[in-house]
Structure 1
Amino acid sequence: MVPIAHVAKYYGKYFLSLANKEIDLDSDTLKVMLCSSSYVPDQDTHRYKSDVTNEITGTGYTAGGATLSSVVSAYTGASNLWSLDAADVQWTGATFTARVAVLYDATPASDSTRPLIGYILFDADIPVTSSTFTVAWDASGIATMTVS
């Protein structure tokens, strides 16, 4: 794992997809895919996987990304905090360069209906050569939101 600063954000239309029952965090298959620096996330207009461009290719990486395991969506009343969490994701024996990690719901049948959730924009390209590339989620979860 290469420690590097990053910016993590929700796609704005993720909340619209939730409200329209396009995502079921308890039962749908969530994935994280990696993109090159040529992909520029648009927090306000990108809604589906088909809006994402420049997915990486390389040894140890499969198109579409990796499936999240141990996904938990939880609400804590005492702190009014909702969180989404899962096990960290690893690509072993990997040789590629990534700049953006994109989280999306892979359950719908086509990329044009697979809702985006959020993304992590690394401060620099992260190259890996015949090694393990890890997306390590924050200790508080992949995503949190205070309900107030």
Structure 2
Amino acid sequence: MTQVIYVLNGPNLNLLGQREPGIYGATSLEGIEAMCLSKASELGVSIEFLQSNHEGELVDWVQEAGRRAAGIIFNPAAYSHTSVALQDAVRAVALPVVEVHLSNIHKRESFRHHSFISPVAIGVICGLGAFGYVAALEALSNHLNEAAKA
């Protein structure tokens, strides 16, 4: 059976390509999804690619992933810095999670330096733009393959 990986995207990421391209790049969320679909095919996994501006919906999807998926790639966007609820959801499902940020959050405003997701993620990729999603997908697939061997 093909492994399913959820790719979850938080608030305002639906505006990628238009919103502050100097920070977030010119690639749209649809373009990132296409990149992920191509990499997923190469890796032999399938993805569920979702975006919401609503914290509760993201919590629901994390919980759904807990029932349906092998892992999660998660760009919680601004919720990274504010959401204990998302951290609790990730902790509850006990799936491997790779946190992704398009920009380098450590080079930005100080309030962006802390993430509630990082402590419950197996890794964090930030500052690589849209390619960060591809790197996260490859890293998570590798993690899942190594775990299956153990």
TM-score normalised to the size of structure 1?
A: 0.27
- Which protein has the larger Cα radius of gyration, Structure 1 or Structure 2? 1
**Bigger proportion of residues as strand:** 1
TM-score, normalised via structure 2 length: 0.27
